[in-house]
Amino acid sequence: MSDNKKKRILIHTLIFSPDGVSTAYLYNDIALAFQKAGYNVVVLSTTPHFNVVEEQLAEQPMRWGVWGLYKKSLFHGIPVYHVPQKKFKSTLLRLIGFVYWHLVSFLMGLFLRNIDVIMSPSPPLTIGRLNNWLGKLKSCKVVYNVQEIYPDILNKPKTSVVHRYLRGMEKRVYNNSDAVTTIDQVFYDTIVDRFEDRRKLHIIPNFVDTELYHEGISTEGLDKSLFPETDSIKLLYAGNIGWAQDWAPLVRLAEKTRDMNVEYFLIGMGKMKSWVEEQKVALGLNKLHILDYQLRRLMPAILAYSDLQYIFMTPEQEGMGFPSKVYTIMACSRPLIVCSGENTPIVNFLKPVGCAKLVTDHDLETKTTEMAEWLKTMTCEKLREMGKMGEKVILSEYTKEIVTKKYVELVDRLLGEE
C-alpha cells in the first residue's frame, strides 16, 4: 500500500500494551501487522490495569493528553490513546470506571479523523455496539472479533433480564458489523445462526509469536529459589487464576500424587488464588508452588523449565472460551494435560494433534484418578515426544505471521468493496 493511498485503521480494545496480559500481546501483534502492511494504525485503549509490568511501562511511557481525560504513548511508532482505568475492588467503582471508559473512548473516537475501518475484540460485548455507532457516524467499516461468546459465558438463565438484553445486543453487534471473526469452528457453529447474513462470519484463529516462544530456550536466567533444578516431572500453569478455570482438580491431583516425583507450579494472580493458597496450607501440599506473575521476557524460559502444562476448564465456561496460551505452550514443544468436556473448543483443537492428555469426565474423583494414573506412566522423554507433535502444528498453521496476514487480507477485501 503506497503512502498516498494509506488506509487508517482504528484498533479499539480494552487491553493493549503496556498492559501485560495475553489479549494485549495478541493485539500488539495485530497492530504491527497492519502497520507493516502499510496501514496508518491508531489504537484506543485503557491505561494498564490488568497486569501492570513496570518494565513495560518504562519502555512505553505515557503522557497526559488534553484536559487530563486520557494519556498518550507510542508503541513502535503507533499512537496509543489510553483512557484511565483502575482495577477497583469495589463493584460500584468498577462499574463507574467501565462507563467512564465507554463515554470517553466514544468521544475520542469521534474526534479521530479519516478512519477507514474500526477493529475491536470481545470482551466486552459493549465495545462492539459502541463501534457500530462510531462506524455509522464516521462512514467506515467495522470488524468485531469474538474471543469469548457473550452472554453465553456468563452462565445466566436464558429467561433472565440480563441474558435477554445481552442476547439482543449481541445480535445487533453481529448484524451491524461489516465482518465478524471468531477463533474456531465450535465458536462459529455456536453463533452463526445469530447472523442475518452468514457471509459476515469468518474463522481466524489466535496465534503465537514463535520468535519469542520456541523449543530449545535456556532456563539459566531463572531464579533457582523459585524454579529449583530437580529430577521431578514439573506441571505448570501461568496466567489468570480466576473463575474460567477449575482449581479443585489441581488441589485434588496434588493430593493424590503427593508421594510421586511430581511438582506443580501455579503462576499468576486472580480471585481464586487465595483459595488455592488456603488449600495448599490446609492439606500440606508442599509440592504445589504458588508464585506471582513473572515478567513476560522470562515466560519462554519458565515454559522451558516445565515438562507438562495443565489447563482445567470449568464445566460452566468450557464451551465459551479458548485459552490462547495453548498456542504458546505448543510452540515451546511442551505437552498439555487438559480437563474439558467433549466437543469443547480446546478438546476439538487438541484431539487430532496428539500433544495432550485430554480428560473429559466432569466428576472430580474420576478425572483426578485418571490423571494420577496417567502421570504414573509418564517420563520426561515421553512428554518431550508429545510436545514435538504440537510444535509441528504451530509452525505450519499458527504463527503470528500466518494468522495476522489473514486479518490484513480480510480488511483489504472489505475496503476493496467500497
User: Domain residues for 319?
Assistant: 233-397
Could you tell me if residue 220 is inside a domain?
A: no
Cα dihedral 203→206→207→208 (10° resolution): 180
* Helix orientation angle between 364-376 and 248-256, rounded to the nearest 10 degrees: 50
Q: d(Cα 37, Cα 318) in Å, to the nearest integer?
A: 35
What pLDDT, on a 0 to 100 scale, did the predictor assign at position 3? Answer: 44
What pLDDT, on a 0 to 100 scale, did the predictor assign at position 358? Answer: 98
Q: Is the peptide bond before 48 cis (omega within 30 degrees of 0)?
A: no
Residues 265, 141 share a domain:
no
Could you tell me if residue 228 is inside a domain?
A: no
Residues 301, 153 share a domain:
no
Half-sphere CA count of 102, side-chain side, radius 13 A = 16
Q: Is the peptide bond before 123 cis (omega within 30 degrees of 0)?
A: yes
DSSP 260-312: SSEEEEEE---TTHHHHHHHHHHHT-TTEEEE----GGGHHHHHHH-SEEEEE
For the entire predicted model, the pTM comes to 0.83
Residues with pLDDT less than 50, the chain: 1-4
Taking only the tens place, the pLDDT of each residue in 89-128 is: 788 888 898 899 999 999 999 999 999 999 999 888 999 9
Closest CA to 30 of 409, 410, 405, 411: 405
Residues 243, 368 share a domain:
yes
What pLDDT, on a 0 to 100 scale, did the predictor assign at position 297? Answer: 86
Residues 45, 9 share a domain:
yes
Cα Rg of the chain (Å, integer): 22
Q: Is the peptide bond before 249 cis (omega within 30 degrees of 0)?
A: no
Q: Residue 117 sits in a domain of what CATH number?
A: 3.40.50.2000
- The bridge status of strand 117-121 relative to strand 78-83 is unpaired
Residues 256, 359 share a domain:
yes
Give the count of beta carbons closer than 10 Å to the beta carbon of residue 220.
7
At 216 the three-state DSSP class reads: coil
What pLDDT, on a 0 to 100 scale, did the predictor assign at position 191? Answer: 94
Residues 163, 257 share a domain:
no
